[in-house]
Chain A
Amino acid sequence: MKKNISRRLFLKGGAAAACTLAASSISSAASKADMHEQIATLIDISKCIGCEACVEACCEVNSEKYPKPQKPFPKMYPKRVPVADWSDKQDVTNRLTPYNWLFIQSATVEKDGEEIELTIPRRCMHCVNPPCVKLCPWGAAKQLENGISRIDSDICLGGSKCKAVCPWKIPERQTGVGIYLDILPSLAGNGVMYKCDRCYDRIAAGKVPACIEACPENVQTIGTKNEIIKQAHKLARETNGYIYGEKENGGTNTIYVSPVPFKELNKAIEKGKGKPHFKPVKNVMAAASNLGTAMLIAPVAGAIAAAGKFYSMVKAEKGDASNET
């Protein structure tokens, strides 16, 4: 831990030069990413020093998107509806909040008989088939063609379904903001859900996400999904590392490579509200996809059944007619 702090101070001093170098090397990779191809990020956990430069950059760049709630909040019915207010705790950086879309998780683990401390940037995984987007009942959560999933704060009602269906429970709610205030504030809706939008506006402008640009250690690499998967496997081979995010929930666009197994990492990190796990995650949309496929062929089955019924009726009528003769 001591090592981290001293290094942090040193790095903050020389951050500007390091960031310029890092950004120039990463932007070329990002610029290769066609807007119609999913882009992914590789996070090399062994490189992260926990300096929180990424967290600060995220807050700085995205502060305009943060909620500006109206107080007092409308009285909500029934009473069980929870008020989620982070507006007085905007400086909380040790978990995900509507004002903090990226945080650093730490874990003390054993590697080769030695105790080591790892720090891990955590944010939305940007799933390939994101349940938050697919199951949002209003279409407020959307997935861009480059794979970024984001929540439109102009139309989100804050029902928190996106959080309930997210395998990592990433989105966080802020009450007292959003369109619900103009509809039925007491009876429906409860604010807006917030999460990392991968700096979609910066990417659209040909830049890289703020967290990547600010990182003095080049912990994150951005590129096309295929490139990133190849790089992750190469890195894992070279370092005897472990991969997380490639297969989880059917695949995500955030690929972690860790020097220790994720099972160990998951045991060591602090988990809970706003602090996602590193457990294995099955593809939560797989069953829906299978049922959806069955639904598309269902009309054929119905038509065949009716045609079969018609055929047997005609056959029976013909049989009756020949018996009569």
Chain B
Amino acid sequence: MNIHEYQAAEILKGYGIPINQGIVATTPDEVAAAAGQLGGTVVIKAQVHTGGRGKAGGVKLAHSPEEAREVGSRILGMDIRGHTVHKVLVAPGVNIAREYYLGVVIDRAARGITIMASSAGGVDIEEVARETPEKIHREAAHPFLGFHDYQARRLAFRLGIEPDLVGGFARIARQLFEAFVQSDASLAEINPLVLTADRTWLALDSKITIDDSALVRHPDLEQLRDLQEENATELEARAAGLSFVKLDGTIGCVVNGAGLSMATMDAIKRYGGEPANFLDVGGGASAEQVEKALRLVLADPNVRAVLINIFGGITRCDEVARGLLSAMDAVKPTVPFVIRLVGTNQDEGRRILADAGITVVDTMPEAAERVVAAAGAAA
């Protein structure tokens, strides 16, 4: 789960990290009031769940409440990579001497947690990793003992930080690691972590991503979910226990299993179509789940045809077929659909569907080809 910058900053503050305390505003008047309260130059930052805010014009300075109001009215409502800006963070301007990057991530290859730091702060770290990988320094946390003080200091020394500033940097690195672990994060980063002109450390921008599988034990963090940032259909799918991702194409997909669902999307693409979604109804493909899935997929006005691809394993094809019929009967799809049903008792399953006048195709390539043709004809 993604959260906003201002929410991440509040979490980090709770672990003792010095943050550049700002004020959240949702209207130009609130932006002006916040600027007046903070005084002097302020920075106004769009709060959206996407990167590249600066390049998109979502981060601007203002030198007076009047200017802040004007800037706020431009940023609020702006579209940044498909995300509408509903909130901005108004924060004090900072006199920056140096900028660093500090991040904690899951390192899948090492099966562990890695702490990364770079003197190339304030820019996209993925770009740094691609172009100047030598500028990124890493420390691996011990799986049982965590991140040692000496490792935090070693990062600071590698970055060339002066001895009198090493302690402060190392403390923030340890606090960030602690915040990461306690929040069950998959990413926690401060970018930039700045050294101000008066030689103090300040987290200027931060980002935290929470592990979805761990949210059950963090009801407080679940509260940070911003429903405006999430696709309505994806939210509905989650509530129904379905795994769903909205895509831009015209062919709806109802599949059991995540891998098979991805493979189905790939097959559609190969035959010249574009999938409208990823959807996993779960390995079992129960009638109830299939019905919910069909409703979700058909709610998308872009969908011109639907491919139902089920591998009946433990849930036999005859059960799946009966479930499909009741789901079809309940939903009454108005677009053409193609069904592929393979697995245990497939002949019986296909006979049940054939008796209802529904033809079942045999292979995935055949199913993909047919559904692409059907979507084209329906266009």
Partners in one complex: no
A-binding residues in B (CB < 8 A): none
